[in-house]
Amino acid sequence: MSTPYDHKAVESKWQDRWEKQRAAEVDLRHGHGKYYMLMMFPYPSGDRLHVGHGRNYILGDALFRFLRMNGKRALNPMGWDAFGLPAENAAIQRGIHPRDWTLANIKVMKEQFRRWGILYDWSKEIASCFPEYYRWNQWLFLRMLEKGLAYKKMAPVNWCPSCRTVLANEQVVDGACERCGTPVVQRDLEQWFFRITEYADRLLSGLDTLEGWPEKVKVMQRNWIGRSEGAEIRFEIPALGESVTVFTTRPDTIHGATFLVLAPEHPLAGRLIAKHGKHAEIEAWIETVRNTPRIQRSDEGNPKEGWDTGVVAVNPATGEEIPIWLANYVLPEYGTGAIMAVPAHDARDLAFARQEGLPVRLVYHLEGDADTDPASLAEPILHVGVIRNAPPFDGLRDGPETLRRFIAWLEEKGWGKARVVYRLRDWLISRQRYWGTPIPVVYCDKCGLVPVPDAQLPVELPYDVEFTGREGNPLSRSKSFVETKCPQCKGPARRETDTMDTFVDSSWYYLRYLSPRDATKMFDTEVANRWMPVDQYIGGIEHAILHLLYARFICKVLHDFGMVGIEEPFQNLFNQGMITRYSEKSGRIEKMSKSKGNTVSPDELIEEMGADTERVYTLFIGPPEKEAEWSDEAVSGAHRFLQRVWRMLEKLPEAPPTAPADPELERDRHATIQRVTHSLQRFSFNTAVAALMELSNSLSKALEEKTASRLRCEETFDTLVQLLHPLAPHMTEELWERRGYTESLLETSWPEHDEAKLRRARIELVVQVDGKVRDRVEVDAAADEKQVRATVLASPRVKDFLAGREVAKAVLVPGRLINLVTRRSA
RNA sequence: GCGAAAGUGGCGGAAUUGGUAGACGCGCAAGAUUCAGGAUCUUGUGGUCGCAAGGCCGUGGGGGUUCGAGUCCCCCCUUUCGCACCA
């Protein structure tokens, strides 16, 4: 007669108890033994979380419980990235205020976390949409404004016609809006920026210190920052009495520069084409290029188009006059927006030269090749060859030293200088939407742009706003918000209606968790210095560039403001893989998502089999950093395993009080402690589950066959329950209590293995003959090679395989195998 | 095109430093048990030859190093991801 496991009752019982005990609460006044773990804070989207989302939170909770049992003062806070477009869209579509909608969603998500048995320190909960939070965005903005790190400029921007807002470069994916997928168009608008480019070098070098980050993420960030070393070189334009500066990474090929190309948007373009016969036609073309979506324009397949301006520049190296062109393949915002074209040594320039019939001149010549004809050159000569006909450099080979000599020469002649250029652009933070942090500045007719004084923060979002879906920011139609007084002259003034990119919110929230209720400052420096950096950050790879780059940037800014000691906020980063499943809609196995219709609801799963089952299966599904396909069938394996563990409790009393000493179960127990501990340290949850299943199988067998004493069985069972707790917290707490223990498993110490218990007196040794497994023999663990050899050679099977041949050599791997080699190696 | 990661049974996946390949689980098969339920238990389950003992083959393909290779080295194929007119 066994008591069935009532997962519903047990799970809610323990969820209540953990909540009452405030099991995850941490006192931040002490930093000793601290371990700051952090899950990327979620956007409360209004869709119920599915099991794919669950993976992230479940593995975080397993880690948290494991750390706690290991005596760490683990901090695991949770909050809400609560500003964002979907809230506003919900307002437009359903007439719910973004604030009410968001708060309702938070409630739902919180309940889902609870049902998963996840422990967060809710006393530190934050939501970025509360004025108590976003006033510090504003405060930070003002400090950055003072230091020139925030500024406003007219700029061609990415505009999403559907979201009706501008997007940062990072938010444009394949030419489309990252959020809604609508193709992005170019517009010129006055916008606010953060000067992240000033930190480009530090963001780059900081990556080298992040040993606990996946290489992949670091590579992506390096690519994004895109540092290029080279030189800028000035070319005189006699006709204009003016010069143009180009950027090149190959100043050593200047003798081969046969024309210049400027971006059509280049400031000199207008004057260059002023006297051109087809002036109007070129202007129209410039307009077309300007309006081409940037992604299409910078696509390699985009046809190169250009116009000869008819004006020439002088190549300082050769003294030759070379034509100046305008072409779409030169981008205005990279480098100086102008290049020297060296068709012989650059693929793009060669393609354009061939297309337009422009001359090609070689600087580097292939060795041994007396005469490469520039006219027939099909491929550019890249990073090989020797310089000819470019005094005083003749005979030099392509390489860094040659490059240095060219730059020194250019500097000496006064024609150019070394320069480093980045692909990274400044961070466009303006958004023309309501549901975000208002940018705290005011426009006064008399005083111009006036920052809102700190004392007047926060600039609060007005609640009473109409959401119509019409073009433009709803904020700009709110009279009560827009109309204000100038803080300087007290005259009438208008508020800035742009709000901040929500990535500003998430760029410093990890610091706010440490001072969540401080109404006097952004965060407490002392507490931050005690608890930062985040020891383990966990989240999706989709934030590899955006959020993680911005957060690193803002952390460095705060460091420079003297507000926090560290420069890198996240010491270790873990990116969990996504959960996939077959989608009826697409007929493919795809990332689990509502739009693909392939989600599995944890609500039903928990109802049917319990949260512990979902947790164990999710952790067992595969290595957590890899993607994994959800299998509805395989879930039952986890369920069966937990059921077996549950039933074992009632079988324990059936074990005999005494039994023939069986060291194997005790050995298994210690081996499992070692394996599970090691697995959890490595985030290898799947192998931890496997090890626990094996121990469960061993104990089950021992109980069945009555080969171990009751005490030993109970001891093994208790260890199993403890080790299983981080993975299946509810059931293990219940079992622990039923075993008669009064403290929560969270309060117990993680078991330690005893090295001595792992050893066996006799071991099974594999015998190989010429590298093939031929037999197994039992020997003393301590046996030396001589003894082992004697035992092995006595085996009839081994004798057969040796077939009378000499053993030329024997290789003994103590405790594992012996290899008898008969043939000589060839 | 460039860069990175990966490729192991029907499936998900194990395998510190080179040392018994396939742990653990799913599925499948046979059996036991049960007042049929999608329950529980036992056994088996890489391929192939064999009545069996056992042999041979086997970690994408080909070569190499080694007493011994999933693991190290070289070449190739495939897949996934990232980057890609950035001068």
Instruction: Report the nucleotide nearest the CA of residue A771, measured to C1'.
Output: B68
Instruction: Report the nucleotide nearest the CA of residue A251, measured to C1'.
Output: B87
Covered bases, chain B (protein CB within 7 Å) = 3-5, 11-16, 19-21, 23-27, 39-42, 55-56, 66-69, 82-87
Instruction: Report the nucleotide nearest the CA of residue A339, measured to C1'.
Output: B87
Confidence band for A826, pLDDT divided at 50, 70 and 90: very low
Alpha carbons A628 and A581: distance in angstroms, whole number: 8
Alpha carbons A19 and A311: distance in angstroms, whole number: 77
Check residues 179 to 218 of chain A and report those whose beta carbon is under 7 Å from nucleic acid strand B: 215-216
Check residues 409 to 428 of chain A and report those whose beta carbon is under 7 Å from nucleic acid strand B: 421, 423
Whether nucleic acid strand B comes within 7 Å of the CB of A622, the answer is: yes
Please tell me the predicted confidence (pLDDT) of residue A659. Answer: 76
CB A776 within 8 A of CB A767: yes
End-to-end CA distance of chain A: 68
Q: Say what percent of chain A tops pLDDT 70.
A: 98
Alpha carbons A794 and A287: distance in angstroms, whole number: 92
Alpha carbons A667 and A763: distance in angstroms, whole number: 13
Check residues 748 to 767 of chain A and report those whose beta carbon is under 7 Å from nucleic acid strand B: 764, 766
Check residues 642 to 661 of chain A and report those whose beta carbon is under 7 Å from nucleic acid strand B: 643-644
Whether nucleic acid strand B comes within 7 Å of the CB of A3, the answer is: no
**Cα→Cα distances A600→A48, A262, A285, A689, Å:** 11, 54, 52, 22
Check residues 694 to 753 of chain A and report those whose beta carbon is under 7 Å from nucleic acid strand B: 694, 697, 700-701, 704
Neighbours of A397 (CB within 10 A): 13
Q: State which amino acid sits at residue A725.
A: H
Whether nucleic acid strand B comes within 7 Å of the CB of A790, the answer is: no
Confidence band for A661, pLDDT divided at 50, 70 and 90: low
The Å distance, CA of A185 to C1' of B79, is: 34
Note the pLDDT tens digit of each residue in A215-242.
889 989 999 999 999 999 999 999 999 9
The tokens for A547 are 């959020």
In sequence order, which ranges of A388-496 are alpha helices (DSSP H)? 400-413, 479-482
Give the residue among A293, A185, A169 at the shortest CA–CA distance from A549: A169
Alpha carbons A471 and A136: distance in angstroms, whole number: 29
Closest protein CA to C1' of nucleotide B12, residue:
A621
Instruction: Report the nucleotide nearest the CA of residue A634, measured to C1'.
Output: B26
The Å distance, CA of A621 to C1' of B45, is: 22
Check residues 248 to 307 of chain A and report those whose beta carbon is under 7 Å from nucleic acid strand B: 248-250, 263, 297-300, 302-304
Note the pLDDT tens digit of each residue in A24-82.
999 999 999 999 999 999 999 888 999 999 999 999 999 999 999 999 999 999 999 99
In sequence order, which ranges of A682-728 are alpha helices (DSSP H)? 685-705, 710-724
Please tell me the predicted confidence (pLDDT) of residue A1. Answer: 42
Please tell me the predicted confidence (pLDDT) of residue A815. Answer: 81
User: C-alpha dihedral over A299, A300, A305, A307, to 10 degrees?
Assistant: 100
Neighbours of A776 (CB within 10 A): 12
Instruction: Report the nucleotide nearest the CA of residue A693, measured to C1'.
Output: B24
Whether nucleic acid strand B comes within 7 Å of the CB of A580, the answer is: no
The Å distance, CA of A816 to C1' of B64, is: 27
Please tell me the predicted confidence (pLDDT) of residue A466. Answer: 85
The Å distance, CA of A668 to C1' of B53, is: 33
The Å distance, CA of A3 to C1' of B31, is: 28
Confidence band for A796, pLDDT divided at 50, 70 and 90: confident
pTM beyond 0.90, yes or no: yes
Who has greater pLDDT, A428 or A4?
A: A428
Note the pLDDT tens digit of each residue in A110-153.
999 999 999 999 999 999 999 999 999 999 999 999 999 999 99
Neighbours of A731 (CB within 10 A): 28
Give the lowest-confidence range in A115-129, A502-516, A575-589. Answer: A575-589
Beta strands in A183-241 (DSSP E): 185-194, 227-237
CB A367 within 8 A of CB A386: yes
Give the lowest-confidence range in A123-132, A370-379, A534-543, A571-580. Answer: A370-379
Note the pLDDT tens digit of each residue in A357-410.
999 999 999 877 777 888 888 888 888 889 998 888 999 998 889 999 999 999
Whether nucleic acid strand B comes within 7 Å of the CB of A582, the answer is: no
The Å distance, CA of A811 to C1' of B68, is: 9
Compute the radius of gyration of chain A from its Cα atoms. 34
CB A655 within 8 A of CB A648: no
Instruction: Report the nucleotide nearest the CA of residue A336, measured to C1'.
Output: B87
Note the pLDDT tens digit of each residue in A779-790.
887 778 788 888
Instruction: Report the nucleotide nearest the CA of residue A262, measured to C1'.
Output: B87
The Å distance, CA of A653 to C1' of B55, is: 48
Please tell me the predicted confidence (pLDDT) of residue A50. Answer: 92
Confidence band for A777, pLDDT divided at 50, 70 and 90: confident
Instruction: Report the nucleotide nearest the CA of residue A545, measured to C1'.
Output: B82
Alpha carbons A416 and A338: distance in angstroms, whole number: 14
Per-chain mean pLDDT for chain A:
91
Instruction: Give the residue-averaged pLDDT of A298-317.
Output: 91
Alpha carbons A538 and A623: distance in angstroms, whole number: 15
Q: For residue A96, with 0-12 CB atoms within 10 Å meaning exposed, 13-18 middle and 19 or more buried, which class applies?
A: middle
Residue A825 clears pLDDT 60, i.e. is over it:
no
